[in-house]
Amino acid sequence: MARRLGRQFYDSDHEIEARTGVRIPVIFEHEGEDGFRQREAQTIDELTQRSGIVLATGGGAVLRAENRENIKSRGTVVYLRANPHDLWLRTRRDKNRPLLQTADPRARLEQLFQERDALYRECATFVIETGRPSVNALVNMVLMQLEMAGIVPSNTEVSHEVSDTAEGARAETHDVAHDVAHDVTGQAGGSDGDPAQAGREEAPQATPAAPAPDTLSR
């Protein structure tokens, strides 16, 4: 998505890891979830003040009101909504998600989904039901919604050459697989590539949420 729009891509989790020099689970181990959330809030506050970017946030970012306010007021937010079963399929082999390192990660995903879905919707300019389409199909769906809303130019190239492993095509996060993203999100598949596997290719359904006051100034 970032490549198609000519924007720079950031992932808040990757930024935190780059700045600390350690992986997310190590931060959780030494600072706990509260320590990580503080780092996350500082990173998101900084990144959402930048112009011309696509930002993927961690799944738990919406837990803090300041994060919700920053992403809503500073950009256009696309919530790529997936059901807990699909989230489990995407994350079941991922050891870099501290909140899913439990005896029953599937039940944990169900719990996280129930806790966070309403918060994601609160932030979202658009809600897109992802299913399990290809990365390219989902990128095209997001672009179509943004173009129809006049958020990006209608002449944005609809290419079919987006790599299934592009950095701007990540739907999962370190602790739960559905995200909210600042500006225009390029999240359409996980870092493990699961959503790019052969599967349902039908177009996902998009549902506009309450209009946001911004017009993609960043």
The annotated binding site is made up of 13, 37, 59, 97, 116
* pLDDT score, position 120: 92
DSSP per-residue string spanning 63-126 = GSHHHHHHHHHHS--EEEE--HHHHHHHHTT--S-GGG-SS-HHHHHHHHHHHHHHHHHHH-SE
Contact 159, 108 (CB under 8 A): no
What kind and span of H or E run contains 38? helix 24-47
Feature table: binding site for substrate: 13, 37, 59, 116
> One digit per residue, pLDDT tens: the chain, 218 residues?
999 999 999 999 999 999 999 999 999 999 999 999 999 999 999 999 999 999 999 888 999 999 999 999 999 999 988 777 777 666 656 666 766 666 677 778 788 888 889 999 999 999 988 877 788 998 999 999 999 989 888 765 544 333 333 333 333 333 333 343 444 433 333 333 333 333 333 444 455 554 444 334 34
Annotated binding residues for ATP, written as ranges, equal 97
User: Residue 6 has what pLDDT?
Assistant: 94
Name the nearest CA neighbour of 164 among 129, 128, 201: 201
Number of residues that make up the chain: 218
- Residue ranges and CATH numbers for the domains of the chain are 2-149 (3.40.50.300)
Other C-beta atoms closer than 10 Å to the C-beta of 115 total 13
Question: pTM for the full model?
Answer: 0.66
Q: How far is CA 21 from the centre of its chain?
A: 22
The per-residue DSSP string of 138-171 comes to HHHHHHHHHHHTTSS-TT----S---TT-TT---
> 104 Cβ partners below 8 Å, 6+ apart?
none
Which residue in the block uniquely carries the two structure tokens 């701007």?
168
